[in-house]
């Protein structure tokens, strides 16, 4: 916090973002964001907003799609994430489909992916 406050005060005296970023060895955008936060919210604007981070403990997509993906994988263990998404997209065209990487993460979380053993 003290570093953020020093940067904001230095900028308010007229020192440019570029000079501050070089002096404190920070990215230009970081310095600019600190200064803008100070201008908009004062000292309170400098506090980190950890509440804005992460997924807030809930699925961003429809829970129904999550359940359908896992169920299809249980019924068809040879199907990959792309195949499962394609089948669901045909069945439910009005629903938003997740990326294949997210679906694969779901499969790993549910224990539906078996690691292949390396043969030597």
Domain-embedded: residue 116? no
Extract long-range pairs of 7-14: CB within 8 Å, 24+ residues apart.
7/31, 7/34, 7/35, 8/34, 8/35, 8/37, 8/38, 8/46, 11/35, 11/38, 12/38
Domain-embedded: residue 117? no
Domain-embedded: residue 118? no
44 and 80 within one domain: no
105 and 73 within one domain: yes
What is the number of structural domains in the chain?
2
Domain that holds residue 12: 2-52
pLDDT computed for residue 111 by the predictor = 92
Chain CA centroid to CA 67, Å: 22
48 and 67 within one domain: no
44 and 14 within one domain: yes
Q: What's the predicted TM-score (pTM) here?
A: 0.50
Domain-embedded: residue 17? yes
34-80 tens-digit pLDDT = 899 888 888 888 888 787 776 665 556 788 999 999 999 999 999 99
41 and 68 within one domain: no
45 and 6 within one domain: yes
Domain-embedded: residue 72? yes
């Amino acid at each position: 916090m003290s570093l953020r406050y020093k940067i904001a005060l230095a900028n308010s005296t007229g020192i440019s973002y570029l000079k501050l970023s070089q002096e404190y060895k920070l990215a230009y955008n970081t310095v600019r964001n600190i200064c803008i936060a100070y201008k908009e919210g004062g000292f309170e604007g400098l506090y980190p907003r950890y509440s804005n981070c992460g997924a807030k403990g809930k699925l961003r997509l429809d829970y129904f799609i999550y359940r359908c993906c896992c169920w299809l994988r249980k019924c068809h263990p040879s199907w990959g994430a792309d195949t499962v998404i394609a089948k669901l997209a045909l069945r439910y065209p009005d629903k938003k489909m997740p990326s294949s990487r997210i679906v694969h993460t779901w499969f790993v979380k549910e224990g539906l992916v078996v690691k292949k053993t390396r043969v030597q």
